[in-house]
Amino acid sequence: MRDTGKPIVTVHILPGTDEEIACNRENLRYVTEQICTEISGSETSVTIDWEGVGEKKSD
């Protein structure tokens, strides 16, 4: 199967409190860890590097 065209990705950044952001990040880490554990068949630990996330890239 060949890729054709250029996909368009829209990112929506919603406002949230520091607590909500921390909770969402932990939920993402936990789900990622569960998926990796299921795929590998053994207990897996996941760490996500959040440094620089949310900063705008300069062209």
23/3: higher pLDDT: 23
Q: What is the pLDDT of residue 27?
A: 95
41 vs 3: CA distance, rounded Å: 32
5 vs 35: CA distance, rounded Å: 30
Predicted confidence (pLDDT) at residue 59 exceeds the cutoff of 60: no
The model's pLDDT over 10-57, given as tens digits with 9 standing for 90+, comes to: 888 888 999 999 999 999 999 999 999 999 999 999 999 988 776 666
Q: CB-based burial of residue 29 (10 Å sphere; 0-12 exposed, 13-18 middle, 19+ buried)?
A: middle
Please, what is the average pLDDT of the chain? Answer: 86
Q: What is the pLDDT of residue 51?
A: 87
